[in-house]
Amino acid sequence: MLLFVYGTLKRGGKYHDYLGEAALEAEYAVAKGDLYDTGLGYPAMDINGKGEVQGEVYDIPEALWPAIDYLEDYSGGAATDLFNKVKIEVEADGKVLQTVVYVATMKEQLKEKVESGNWDVLAVEGAY
């Protein structure tokens, strides 16, 4: 299954190692929605937004999903999950890909809109 990542799971991000042996399918991909800084060191996406969110697409082996779900605080239905896992289409290299993405479950997470739609992991996480 393909995963669209837009924050700390991107290359250079502090949690990129969670992707383990996942294959990079698209170095640059765009999804419809808005990107927000949560104020907690990671972004959150709202797929109902009118903008575009930039990210990467990975083919995730089945064995990695439990750890990624745990990282994203997703249990599959709990009212307290910080993120929900939903299916979306993204555009990459002129193609439309069917992916899943983790999106914010609560409006309170959406603190400050990232107008560029790009979470710059180097600038945000101080990984220069």
92-122 residue pLDDT tens: 999 999 999 999 999 999 999 999 999 987 5
pLDDT recorded at residue 80: 84
59 strand-pairing partners: 2, 23
Residue with tokens 């640059």: 28
Annotated catalytic residue, options 72, 108, 112, 115: 72
Q: Which amino acid is at 1?
A: M
Give per-residue pLDDT as tens, 57-91.
Answer: 999 999 999 999 999 999 987 788 999 999 999 99
pLDDT recorded at residue 128: 31
Which position has the higher pLDDT, 123 or 23? 23
pLDDT recorded at residue 122: 57
- In the residue annotation, 125 being an active-site residue is answered as no
The mean pLDDT of 20-43, rounded to a whole number, is: 96
Query: Three-state SS for 73?
Result: coil
**Given CA atoms 126, 54, 46, 81 in this order, what sign does their dihedral have?**
negative
79 strand-pairing partners: none
> pLDDT band at residue 54, thresholds of 50, 70 and 90?
very high
> Structure tokens of 46?
């709202």
